[in-house]
Structure 1
Amino acid sequence: MPHVVTQACCGDASCVYACPVNCIHPTPDEPDFGIAEMLYIDPATCVDCGACVTACPVGAIVPGHRIPETQERFTAVNAARYAEPDPAAARFPVDARWRKPLAPVDRPKALADVPDPLHVAIVGSGPSAMYAADELLKHRQARVTMFERLSEPFGLARFGVAPDHQSTRSVVNLFNAIAGDPQLEILLNSEIGRDVTLEQLREQFHAVIWAGGAPTDRPLEIPGADLPGVQSATSVVGWYNGHPDFTDAAPALDTERAVVIGNGNVALDVARILTSDPDRLAATDISRDALAALRGSAVREVVVVGRRGPEHAAFTLPELIGLADGPAHVWVDPADLAHVDHPDSEKLALLREISARPRPSGPRIRLAFGLTPDRVCGDRRAAGVRLLRTGTDDAVELTAGLVLPAIGYRGRPVPGLPFDAERGTVANLGGRVTENGLPVPGMYVTGWIKRGPSGFIGTNKTDSRETVDHLLADVAARR
């Protein structure tokens, strides 16, 4: 039985290069790669060799005959990507299945036109930074110094992944292996602007890569958004993951209902953690302070509100499957799906299945659609949310003592670098920082501060490869 990619897929494409028959798509050179919710194995082409299992950094690929019960849907999810009746309309064209397998990019161990040693500074130590370091360290000239503001490395891989997603968190093992390279030095508790300036880095290193991510939230700009009891979902993620910036960000859990505004994967993570059995969370590396608070929580329902209809839900199908088939109790009001004028998709089919289930009696998550937040109600603290049915003046009011906006991340300006305020990124072209359309010599970006908050942990691998390729080409050209 062929192998299957499951929910934990991080999208770093290591499996693509390991596969001897090119049965895993989309590949980094295919248009869908940057927007795919996960990678998929073609069951008709897979030879069941297991090479992809070894290559996967998060344990997301399993033999079909060993797939856990909670992941069984992924057998059909993988196969569906190759089952289009019209080959011309296939997501991955039929002839693409029979191409020669992709080979890893063959880079020489030493580059004749690059300084020896080549000193590169990387600001940040999250996934994009670690993948960039890994690309540089393929060349024996490279000496990488990484500057990390916090006392622990690896950024969102350590502090952004939900504690009950242990498979995804295992990518830290890969980063630990990269960090063990003797030609990489990670300086913790090192803040740019406090301990060293960006200008000093540019003077001391051949090149600087800024990998600072998108650390701020998009604000919820409605009346009442500044009331106590309203806080960003990002701060709650940081709180339960023990992020040092959010140790004092404990949410008010003395309310029976919380409302999460926005329905991306982060919204589902927060809703799931707030309604989870604390005894189950105790086996994870959740913050012990957060665990103690959750044991005393009064929250019995978390309503996850999306402005658009269910056919446009921002969460991915793999995350919805994990929610529907895992220990969480999730519910959808059938009325929210009654007037969907859109062809059925796998996501809609699963939402319909969830809506047909009995309404859970214990702590639960409700997925609600077609509601636009109008105001947070309350006097001295949040007491509820007034929502409008999207496109109308029909109002819906939900009582809630906790309101958590989860409407996206945004990069913030970096002193000394040109900032694209519209996109929330440092202005760049393929990772080369640009000012007035011209490259800034020796200055590069990677990750969310380069492309915006999109993709998954592994998406940063190809993103960082592009940046490093441009960096090496530029350094060679300046010789």
Structure 2
Amino acid sequence: MLGSWQVLRCKSQVFRNLSTTSLKCGSGPKVAVVGGGAAGFYATQQIAKARPDSVIDIFEKLPVPFGLVRFGVAPDHQDVKKCISTFNKVAELPNVNYIGNSTLGKDFSFVDLKRCYDSVLLTYGTDEDRKLGIPGEDLRNVMGARDLVSVYNGLPGYETFPVDLDTDTVVIIGVGNVSIDVARLLLSPVDQLRKFDVTEAWLEKRLTSKVKRVVLVGRRGPLHVSFTIKELREMTKLENTRPILHKEQYLPIQDMLAKLERPRKRLIELLVNTALKEPDAKTAERYNNAKQSWELQLLRSPVEALPGPDGKSVAKLRLAVNIPKGDSVEQTDQIEEIETGLVLRSIGYKSIQADPDIKFDSKKGIVPNEDGRVSPGVYTAGWLGTGPRGVIIDTMNNAFKVAGNVIEDLKGMQEGKPGREGMPHLPGHTTWQDWKKIEQVEEEAGKPKGKLREKLWTVESMLNAIKS
């Protein structure tokens, strides 16, 4: 037991589950966390330990937890998913409940949450891509990089999403880690991907793929790329693939390296060395024999996507050449064209207003806040509050900080609001025990294929796994 935490009998008529496992109850402050991703779990960890008399209910719209850790992190980056071991421990604390398959704005309202909980923490992340805002963006095969991520990671709703890899060249607009991940998943040997939890649908698409070249386009120069050194190093060593970096873009920044701070210096050094230094004999031979390439085309801005003969599908992308102006760039009238059958935008995500009563800045795509505080008793953490930035450790640090504010504001509170006992009936919600059943089914299904797991892709299949 943790501290003075006490078990009270939950009202079964309020919360019926697909399983018979009871939810945990308590008499202290009630905290609702909306979003079962990294921000939600990290914040819950801090609140649960600081206030063992509290009860924290994590609401997640999908039956399964972990958000972008499950559906955003590349399947071949399992080391990044090690944080799941921490989340497992959090979910099993005696004052934490996981309530899946329950959607804010549909199954319950923001007003319900404020009425029933002493603190409401919104961490439901980002649901939409930022658009390029150029002519031709609505052409077929112009889509978000996130769409491909959702296909190879098995996000429900993407089971039949049309991804056409019947093209020699793919262009990705953006130079962050998502862009690098997608490029790697487009070019990595299929046999290497098989052992991870990538979907069978993606493996099938890759087997018939004609993609030999991936071009990453960035508006600014080398000093402003957003990916990290690990991802870049992987791309320079990718089997059967050579990097193409344009020397003229790196010559002007050689003398600036000494002034950069680590780890930025190490990243830019690797870029400069890859672009300007002659590779050793072994690397040169590997590059010469490579049948694929990835290209970093910087100081370019997309201005128009052009259709092919059918008038419906993208065939070319027009790029304006930029020139550096301090920390920004100036777009020139010089235009270049790339022939391509697939254009992916990866210029950031934005959140949505999940409920009309939530304060929301539609222009920035965030819930306005000051250090996570939105209004008395209401908080936000993760990308919903900061915008899409950083990696998981940045989300963790933000969640810890916001959780500290929640803990501070709960000081002195002993008797809590009704919590889930006052909430609307959620007949189809799932629990942590249900998730463990789903996880077991996935792992068993993956074993014959030599995979970590074979993800259940639809909500229906997840719920059927629980029933069985």
- TM-score, normalised by the number of residues in structure 1: 0.72
Aligned equivalent of 2:269, options 349, 361, 369: 349
- Write the mapping of 1:75-474 to structure 2, written as runs, cut at 5 A: 116-138=27-49, 139-327=51-239, 329-341=241-253, 343-344=256-257, 345-355=265-275, 356-357=278-279, 358=284, 361-378=290-307, 379-390=311-322, 391-414=331-354, 415-433=356-374, 440-474=375-409
Distance 1:250 1:145 in 2: 36
Distance 1:327 1:210 in 2: 42
Q: For 1:444-475, what per-residue CA distance to the aligned partner results, in whole angstroms no more than 9, with x for missing partners? A: 11111111111211222221222222222223
Q: Aligned-pair distance for 1:441?
A: 2.2
Look up the equivalent residue of 1:347 and give its one-letter code.
L
Q: Aligned-pair distance for 1:127?
A: 0.1
Asked whether the equivalents of residues 372 and 380 of structure 2 are also in contact (C-alpha less than 8 Å), the reply is: yes
> Taking CA–CA contacts closer than 8 Å with sequence separation of 6 or more, which of the two structures ends up with the larger relative contact order?
2
Q: 1:141 to 1:227 in 2, by over 3 A?
A: same
Asked whether the equivalents of residues 428 and 450 of structure 1 are also in contact (C-alpha less than 8 Å), the reply is: yes
Distance 1:443 1:176 in 2: 25
Q: For 1:342-386, what per-residue CA distance to the aligned partner results, in whole angstroms no more than 9, with x for missing partners? A: 613433332233234555532221111111111111121000111
- Secondary structure of the equivalent of 1:164? coil
Asked whether the equivalents of residues 272 and 328 of structure 1 are also in contact (C-alpha less than 8 Å), the reply is: no
Which residue of the partner structure matches residue 262 of structure 2? none
Distance 2:35 2:380 in 1: 11
Look up the equivalent residue of 1:387 and give its one-letter code.
L
Which residue of the partner structure matches residue 40 of structure 1? none
Asked whether the equivalents of residues 246 and 297 of structure 2 are also in contact (C-alpha less than 8 Å), the reply is: no
- Secondary structure of the equivalent of 2:230? helix
Q: Aligned-pair distance for 1:287?
A: 0.9
Asked whether the equivalents of residues 170 and 213 of structure 2 are also in contact (C-alpha less than 8 Å), the reply is: yes
Q: 1:374 to 1:313 in 2, by over 3 A?
A: same
Q: Aligned-pair distance for 1:275?
A: 0.7
Q: 1:450 to 1:477 in 2, by over 3 A?
A: farther
Q: Aligned-pair distance for 1:338?
A: 5.0
Q: For 1:227-266, what per-residue CA distance to the aligned partner results, in whole angstroms no more than 9, with x for missing partners? A: 0010100111111000113223342101111000111110
Q: 1:328 to 1:407 in 2, by over 3 A?
A: farther
Distance 1:206 1:330 in 2: 56
Q: Aligned-pair distance for 1:296?
A: 1.2
Q: For 1:286-319, what per-residue CA distance to the aligned partner results, in whole angstroms no more than 9, with x for missing partners? A: 0111111111111111111111111221212232
Look up the equivalent residue of 2:393 and give its one-letter code.
G
Q: 1:157 to 1:165 in 2, by over 3 A?
A: same
Look up the equivalent residue of 1:465 and give its one-letter code.
F
Q: Aligned-pair distance for 1:328?
A: 6.9
Distance 2:162 2:194 in 1: 18
- TM-score, normalised by the number of residues in structure 2: 0.73
Look up the equivalent residue of 2:334 and give its one-letter code.
D
Distance 1:336 1:413 in 2: 44
Moved more, 315-324 or 196-205: 315-324
- Secondary structure of the equivalent of 1:340? helix
Percent sequence identity is 33
Q: For 1:48-87, what per-residue CA distance to the aligned partner results, in whole angstroms no more than 9, with x for missing partners? A: xxxxxxxxxxxxxxxxxxxxxxxxxxxxxxxxxxxxxxxx
- Secondary structure of the equivalent of 2:98? strand
Q: Aligned-pair distance for 1:119?
A: 1.3
Q: 1:336 to 1:169 in 2, by over 3 A?
A: farther
Q: For 1:404-454, what per-residue CA distance to the aligned partner results, in whole angstroms no more than 9, with x for missing partners? A: 000011122242121233432111111111xxxxxx222111111111111
Look up the equivalent residue of 2:399 and give its one-letter code.
S
Asked whether the equivalents of residues 242 and 292 of structure 2 are also in contact (C-alpha less than 8 Å), the reply is: no
Answer yes or no: is 1:476 the counterpart of 2:387. Answer: no
Q: Aligned-pair distance for 1:226?
A: 0.5
Look up the equivalent residue of 2:293 and give its one-letter code.
R
Look up the equivalent residue of 1:118 and give its one-letter code.
P
Distance 1:346 1:146 in 2: 39
Q: 1:294 to 1:336 in 2, by over 3 A?
A: farther
Look up the equivalent residue of 2:317 and give its one-letter code.
V
Q: Aligned-pair distance for 1:188?
A: 1.2
Q: For 1:126-178, what per-residue CA distance to the aligned partner results, in whole angstroms no more than 9, with x for missing partners? A: 00000011111103112111111112100011110001111112222221222
Unaligned runs of 5+ in 2: 6-25, 258-264, 323-330, 415-468
